[in-house]
Amino acid sequence: MLRRRTTAQELNFRQHRRIQSGRRQFLQGGDASPEQNGPEQNGLVLANYGFNSEVENEQGERFRCAVRETVDSSPAAGDQVVWRPGKTAGQGVIEAISPRHSELRRPGTQGRWQTVAANIDRLVVIFSPDRFVMGLADRYLIVAAVAGIEAILVVNKQDVLQGKEFRSYRQELKRDLKIYRRMGYLTQLVSAHSGKGLPWLTEQLVGRNTLLVGQSGVGKSSLIRHWITDEEIRVGQVNAIGRGRQTTSAARLYHLPQGGNIIDSAGIRALALQGIPAHRVVDYFRDVSKYAGKCRFSDCRHDAEPNCAVQAAVAKGKVDPRRLVSLHAIADSLEVSGDGTLLLQD
């Protein structure tokens, strides 16, 4: 008797073919027996809590789902899945994860990489004004570029920079952001408290799947609260400027009323940057790479080599020397980690 393959089996089957063709980027589906569970359906992962995921069905109802053991990767916020409702109301099981068009990964347990969020179109990197660290911005921008995700830089808590005493500080910050604008990145100063810059930021989110990242306490959840008013979103109890303990514990997807989704993240200490050898990091420094091709040595580290065009550009004031400090720090950390782990400063 010919039986139609279920969607999960179809995903499983296709994955099998991909493995055979050497492209192992697909995930496995299970072989759940329909007698024990409801019919297969599509769903969206809102959050993953280790052994369980919160899945939303096409009607907007939410279910707590276990993951079939044959699925060999953890679901992440933003994943499209095939799942079945279980016998207990409000519960179910994820049978397969659809291929991701993008993902951001971090080192997980037992040497495995864990997906932070999936199917993201845009990364919004949030800083607090006292912690705009170029090296950190560069790390996020490179990871996003390698993952094929557009990234923008946002400095929140603009309200605390008011007043004469912060004048030179404001100017310095704006100078730093200009370096990135010249490279073609969008940057913006905003305030979740005063609302400054938020209409612009909202426009950037509409119709997209956006992931908010940034160190603990920079105000990611506070920004989300501006858009999502019908859900309880916990915000940290720290001073306007200052480190808080981590408040948000897992990445979580919210639907924007204007259309599109936004994912709040937390506690990312390192990201995956696999497949980029240290000497190729410069390709992702848009302001430095245009000189790198003119160095005498093709494998120039732009450090102390003779006839280094990058060093010459720095000497002529065409490249900010801090750009090279950041470049070398990233290249060195990749060399040290050996597996493409990119630590984000704490």
Ligand X SMILES: Nc1nc2c(ncn2[C@@H]2O[C@H](COP(=O)(O)OP(=O)(O)OP(=O)(O)O)[C@@H](O)[C@H]2O)c(=O)[nH]1
Which one of Mg ion, Zn ion, ligand X, none interacts with residue 19, CB within 5 to 8 A by kind? none
User: In the set 266, 295, 314, 324, which binds ligand X (CB under 6 A)?
Assistant: 266
252 near ligand X, judged by CB under 6 A: no
∠ CA 16-20-23, nearest 5°, is 90
Binding site for Mg ion (CB under 5 A): 220-221, 247-248
Binding mask 275-304 for Zn ion (x = CB under 5 A): --------------------x----x-x--
Residue 216 contact partner, candidates Mg ion, ligand X, Zn ion, none, CB within 5 to 8 A by sort of partner: ligand X
Residue 240 binds: one of Mg ion, ligand X, Zn ion, none (C-beta under 5 to 8 A by kind): ligand X
Which region, judged by CB under 6 A, interacts with ligand X, from 33-41, 87-95, 190-198, 325-333? 190-198
Choose which of 92, 107, 217, 340 interacts with ligand X (CB under 6 A).
217
- Residue 123's Cβ-count burial label (10 Å; 0-12, 13-18, 19+) is buried
99 binds, among Mg ion, ligand X, Zn ion, none (CB under 5 to 8 A by kind): none
Q: Which does 310 bind (CB under 5 to 8 A by kind): Mg ion, ligand X, Zn ion, none?
A: Zn ion
Site string for Zn ion, 299-338 (x = CB under 5 A): -x-x-----x-x----------------------------
Q: Which of 42, 244, 270, 286 binds ligand X (CB under 6 A)?
A: 244
CB nearer ligand X, residue 206 or residue 240? 240
SS (H, E, C) the chain: CCCCCCHHHHHHHHHHHHHHCCCCCCCCCCCCCCCCCCCCEEEEEEEEECCEEEEEECCCCEEEEEECCCCCCCCCECCEEEEEECCCCCEEEEEEECCCCCEEEEECHHHCEEEEEECCCEEEEEECHHHCCHHHHHHHHHHHHHHCCEEEEEECCHHHHCCHHHHHHHHHHHHHHHHHHHCCCCEEECCCCCCCCHHHHHHHHCCCEEEEECCCCCCHHHHHHHHCCCCCCCCCCCCCCCCCCCCCCCCEEEECCCCCEEEECCCCCEEECCCCCHHHHHHHCHHHHHHHCCCCCCCCCCCCCCCCHHHHHHHCCCCCHHHHHHHHHHHHHHHHHCCCEEECCC
300 binds, among Zn ion, Mg ion, ligand X, none (CB under 5 to 8 A by kind): Zn ion
Q: Does 247 bind ligand X (CB under 6 A)?
A: yes
Say which entry of Zn ion, Mg ion, ligand X, none residue 217 contacts (CB below 5 to 8 A, set by partner kind).
ligand X
Judge contact between 314 and 325, C-beta under 8 A: no
Give the number of residues in contact with Zn ion, rule: CB under 5 A: 5
Choose which of 96, 218, 272, 282 interacts with ligand X (CB under 6 A). 218
156 part of the interface to ligand X, by CB under 6 A: yes
Kindly list the residues in this chain that would bind ligand X in the complex (CB under 6 A). 156-157, 159-160, 191-193, 214, 216-222, 235-238, 240, 244, 246-248, 266
Kindly list the residues in this chain that would bind Zn ion in the complex (CB under 5 A). 295, 300, 302, 308, 310
